[in-house]
Structure 1
Amino acid sequence: MAIITVTGNKGGVGKSTTAVHLATYLSDFGQTLLVDGDPNRTAIKWAERGSLPFKVADERQAVKLAREVEHVVFDTPARPESNDLLELAKGCDLLILPTTPDLVSLEPMLETAAVLNTTNYFFLITIVPSYPSKRGEDMKNDLRTGKIPVFNTTVRMSDGFKTAAEEGVPVRQVKDSRKRAAWKDYEALGSEIMELLS
């Protein structure tokens, strides 16, 4: 069983969107459960508006349901304390920390990296502006220079994710075919994660 936790230092970085789309990717390889531990219950509300290809439950229901699946994705509350962050990291196979490519996000990321220096974690750069902006690539290179684990894949800014949440489906199933293209980023991320966990 693969256990992946998605957490972040601030809201608005695509944490729940990442959890939903990683669970979607993993559901193609076996039964998957998304545990929605975020007080906003974003994933649960997303599922209630439509149909997701995996089970979604809050943390109280998760213990029983986790026995029935091959993959578990946790969507945690934003801004965990340092001790909570270490415990989250110890309790999963991979801890993913989404962040946007800006200085306001970078500073708390560096603090987080100092706390997590020996655990299995990676930063994911999300909501990356489209070309010609180089913010996503620049941040990825800066993190690598600082020896901070960061995924090769970045997730581009797309209105498709908002549409997906409104329709209650993963972005690969939205009605507008142009917006479905946003799925490619999470498909690439999923492939990268499968390699890491194998």
Structure 2
Amino acid sequence: MIITVAGYKGGISKSTTAIHLATYLQTLAPTMLVDGDANRSATLWASQGGLPFQVIPEGQAMKFSRQYEHIVIDTGARPTPDELKDLVGGCDLLVLPTNPEAMSLDALLQTTEALQQLGGQYRVLLTMLPPPPSRDGQEARVALEAEGLPVMRASVRYSAAFRHASAQGVPVRDVRGNRAAKTAWLDYEAAAREIVAAVGG
């Protein structure tokens, strides 16, 4: 299974999503994360050796890909139309994370407009949803569904536990001494299960 995580804008939890999808897939079969982001966020996260899967630079992906059953690709921000076409053609499912901010949603709509012309298979994942009483997440979902976009049932709530996970070099499920980390992991676990079901795994 090849899952690509992409976004037209930074700050939408793209690398965080890639890391946690790979963490879940590793529980099913050997998984590799390909770091294709110029910021190398996944590589930096993995540098402390606490991730349960292998992170490989994009340039070395072909060499190692035969060793893994699942591959998650963390792409760079703002893919060009040609890059988007290649991304769609090279994976089983394209995952588009977005937070509920207006600028992020606008950027997402630009991406999905191009995808609809390409006929790509993709899902939108709402991330960084603020806690109640904010209704931003619900309003974003309604707006995206009104556009006819395939919004995932699962969503990921904002949690400071993700910052701790990055600092410790581990998935959020392995953050030490943080009760919120378990809830944060359950959000991504639900998203990963939905993705596996969508691909037919």
Output one character per residue of 1:37-71: Cα deviation in whole Å (capped at 9) or x when no partner.
11111111111123111111101221121100110
Decide which moves more: 105-114 or 152-161: 105-114
**1:187 corresponds to:** 189
Decide which moves more: 182-191 or 142-151: 142-151
Aligned pairs for 1:28-107 within 5 A: 28-107=27-106
Query: d(CA) in 2 for partners of 1:42 and 1:114?
Result: 27
**Any conservation in 1 of the 2:161–2:178 contact (CA below 8 Å)?**
no
Output one character per residue of 1:84-142: Cα deviation in whole Å (capped at 9) or x when no partner.
11210111001011111021111121121111012101111111101111111211121
Cα distance, 1:11 vs structure 2: 0.7
Cα distance, 1:159 vs structure 2: 0.5
Query: d(CA) in 1 for partners of 2:22 and 2:155?
Result: 17
**Any conservation in 2 of the 1:23–1:32 contact (CA below 8 Å)?**
yes
More strand by share: 2
Query: d(CA) in 1 for partners of 2:131 and 2:163?
Result: 17
Query: d(CA) in 2 for partners of 1:54 and 1:27?
Result: 6
**Does residue 197 of structure 1 match 2:199?**
yes
* SS of residue in 2 equivalent to 1:152: strand
* SS of residue in 1 equivalent to 2:157: coil
Query: d(CA) in 2 for partners of 1:55 and 1:49?
Result: 12
TM-score by length of 1: 0.96
Long gaps (5+) in structure 1: none
Alpha-carbon RMSD across the aligned residues, in angstroms, is 1.0
**Any conservation in 1 of the 2:12–2:128 contact (CA below 8 Å)?**
yes
Query: d(CA) in 2 for partners of 1:138 and 1:153?
Result: 15
The one-letter amino acid paired with 1:69 is Y
* SS of residue in 1 equivalent to 2:156: coil
Cα distance, 1:81 vs structure 2: 0.9
Number of residue pairs matched by the alignment = 197
Decide which moves more: 107-116 or 165-174: 107-116
Query: d(CA) in 1 for partners of 2:108 and 2:43?
Result: 27
The one-letter amino acid paired with 1:188 is A
Long gaps (5+) in structure 2: none
Query: d(CA) in 2 for partners of 1:24 and 1:4?
Result: 13
The one-letter amino acid paired with 1:106 is L
* SS of residue in 1 equivalent to 2:170: coil
Runs of 4+ with deviation above 3 angstroms: none
Query: d(CA) in 1 for partners of 2:180 and 2:172?
Result: 7
